[in-house]
Amino acid sequence: MDTVLVLDFGGQYSQLIARRIREQHVYAVIESFRQMTVDEIVARGYRGIVMTGGPNSVNDPESPHFDPALLNAGIPILGICYGAQLMAQMAGGTVAAAGAEGEYGRTQLTVRQSMLFRGVEETSICWMSHRDRITEAPEGFGITATTPQCGCAGMSDESRKLYAVQFHPEVTHTRYGTQIFSNFLDICGCDRQWVMSRFVADTVERLRSELKGKRVLMALSGGVDSSVTAALLGKAIGSDLTCVFVDHGLLRKGEPEAVEDVFRSRLGDGLVCVDARERFLRELSGVTDPEKKRKIIGEQFIRVFEETANSLGGFDLLAQGTIYPDVIESGKGDSAVIKSHHNVGGIPADVKFDGIVEPLRDLFKDEVRRVGLELELPDHIVKRQPFPGPGLAVRITGEVTREKLDILREADAIFREEIDSAEMAVRPDQYFAVLTDTSAVGVKGDSRLYGSVIALRAVTTEDFMTADWTRIPVDVLERTSVRITNAIPTVARVVYDITSKPPATVEWE
């Protein structure tokens, strides 16, 4: 199928670019500029290339650069922000510091006639975030867009199908971003064939062929990612799949029982439940660093799966519900390590399986949900809000103890109950409580209390790449606070997190 390469120069929105392209039913992959040569790009047959933004200046000799031969490879290219400036420099144009006239946030955009801007109003709003700007377009390029502060907010060489925009069409604040990406894909001549029904059929066929005669142990958490992975593998290899659910003691209130109840009816003897609560608590004792927590949990998961595999007569492969954001956020190419996901950055080097099967590794969360619907999984599984593999360990800042887990479970259950029963115009896509490592003074029963602080977190998002904090009605927050402080004697106060992603992540650790 037609594929577009997102050539990553360290941009914070690189994943969003891939998402926007996939929304147009064209497959997109993210690769670091360091890992690709022009010859390799040409050999792989990409229909188009998007050069991403990045935090550097193209005028810095140490900043990411690329072979100018790419511009003459005959592949349509769209440069965004840093990618636009790099294209200008590669083609012989000039880029200079914007100084005090840099642009950040919503900006008025004026466009001129261009294939890239077909169907875009002459004046609209775009999203800017740049310190440098193109001050002289290269020979053969015409300026196609401007803003009040930027004389070259867009340029193109139509004959070579080279396009550049200083703004960010991948961000939803850019009004015509979707149209711009659609126009670029038309320029590339892409067939819109990236649909989940095709993914399911192709993946099942591939897994059936590749895994024939092999026994696979599936790491099942009960979340949407692992549930969809299990359904795909079950469709492909049937009884050669065994799902293992590990209760690591870091789950929400009532969750171990709920997971076993749901999947026992679907898997029967193909589900094995392991109680490893004491083991994980022991390994996490005294650990406060969140990255270390994730890595410990990742390794212990693997060790439990290895031991379980041996006790069941041995397995060839381990299967996981890893998805694309897990890979990117754990550090892929030039992307920074946002957090090491337990199933990526936390995997030890000496895994005692012949290999790891991750059929969803290239999908975003909303794509995984669509796969689940294609596989006819029930809504309460497919639409389940995300829950991190390390569980409550990354919702407790500081050391994880049994007492802290009990406090957080109760607070989290109360918050979720209040949200689930509330009438709200906009419902959050993820909501939970965090036990902070901050203490605060309070008064209970006419006595002074120096107790814990619970933070509540709720976000609204389309793809979990960006997220806005949810405007929960004040009366819902009030009821939640009253219930938590009444039910948990050691909690002194409750606060609400009103930080969006970015700059924050959804989880606290």
DSSP string of 245-279, one letter each residue: EEE-S-SPTTHHHHHHHHHHHHHGGGEEEEE-HHH
- 334 has pLDDT over 80: no
Structure tokens at 19: 């998402």
How many whole angstroms separate alpha carbon 421 and alpha carbon 167? 41
What's the CATH fold of domain 401-496? GMP Synthetase; Chain A, domain 3 (3.30.300)
Q: What is the model's pLDDT at position 79?
A: 97
Q: What is the model's pLDDT at position 102?
A: 61
For residues 232 and 378, the answer to whether their CB atoms sit within 8 Å is no
- 502 has pLDDT over 90: no
pTM of the model: 0.71
Q: Give the residue-averaged pLDDT of 279-302.
A: 94
Lowest mean per-residue pLDDT among 74-78, 294-298, 401-405:
294-298
How many whole angstroms separate alpha carbon 2 and alpha carbon 359? 19
The CB-side HSE value for 413 (13 A sphere, CA atoms) comes to: 13
For residues 458 and 426, the answer to whether their CB atoms sit within 8 Å is no
What phi and psi, each to the nearest 5 degrees, are found at residue 217? -100, 125
How many whole angstroms separate alpha carbon 453 and alpha carbon 437? 8
Q: What is the model's pLDDT at position 90?
A: 95
- 98 has pLDDT over 80: no
- 354 has pLDDT over 70: yes
For residues 371 and 199, the answer to whether their CB atoms sit within 8 Å is yes
- 337 has pLDDT over 70: no
Confidence of residue 336 (pLDDT cuts 50, 70, 90): very low
% of the chain residues with pLDDT over 70: 94
How many whole angstroms separate alpha carbon 246 and alpha carbon 330? 23
Question: Where exactly are the structural domains of the chain?
Answer: 3-188, 196-382, 401-496
Q: Spot the catalytic one: 81, 126, 150, 243.
A: 81
Closest CA to 168 of 103, 97, 245: 103
Tell me the residue length of the chain: 509
Q: What is the model's pLDDT at position 340?
A: 37
Q: Which CATH architecture has domain 196-382?
A: 3-Layer(aba) Sandwich (3.40)
Confidence of residue 461 (pLDDT cuts 50, 70, 90): confident
Q: Spot the catalytic one: 126, 150, 168, 410.
A: 168
Q: Spot the catalytic one: 23, 31, 103, 170.
A: 170
Question: Would the CATH topology of 3-188 be identical to that of 196-382?
Answer: yes
Structure tokens at 126: 């775009």
User: Is 168 part of the annotated catalytic residue set?
Assistant: yes
- 302 has pLDDT over 70: yes
179-221 confidence digits (pLDDT tens) = 999 999 999 999 999 888 989 999 999 999 999 999 999 999 8
Q: What is the mean pLDDT of the chain?
A: 90
- 335 has pLDDT over 60: no
How many whole angstroms separate alpha carbon 286 and alpha carbon 439? 19
How many whole angstroms separate alpha carbon 1 and alpha carbon 208? 20
Segment holding 45, helix H or strand E: none
For residues 153 and 120, the answer to whether their CB atoms sit within 8 Å is no
Q: What is the model's pLDDT at position 1?
A: 84
Closest CA to 64 of 78, 76, 81, 45: 81
Angle between helical axes of 365-374 and 196-210 (0-180°, round to 10): 80
CA-to-CA separations, 318 to 155, 309, 495, in angstroms, rounded? 49, 9, 41
Closest CA to 362 of 206, 182, 169: 206
How many whole angstroms separate alpha carbon 309 and alpha carbon 219? 11
First CA to last CA across the chain, in angstroms? 38
Confidence of residue 328 (pLDDT cuts 50, 70, 90): low
Q: Give the residue-averaged pLDDT of 31-42.
A: 94
DSSP 311-324: HTT--SEEE----H
Q: What is the model's pLDDT at position 242?
A: 95
Confidence of residue 343 (pLDDT cuts 50, 70, 90): very low
CA-to-CA separations, 474 to 104, 227, 425, in angstroms, rounded? 32, 35, 13
Q: What is the model's pLDDT at position 331?
A: 52
User: Is 380 part of the annotated catalytic residue set?
Assistant: no
User: Is 81 part of the annotated catalytic residue set?
Assistant: yes
Q: Tell me: domain 3-188, CATH 3.40.50.880, correct?
A: yes
Burial class (CB in 10 A: 0-12, 13-18, 19+), 193: exposed
The sign of the torsion formed by the CA atoms of 119, 125, 131, 136 equals positive
- 60 has pLDDT over 80: yes
Confidence of residue 273 (pLDDT cuts 50, 70, 90): very high
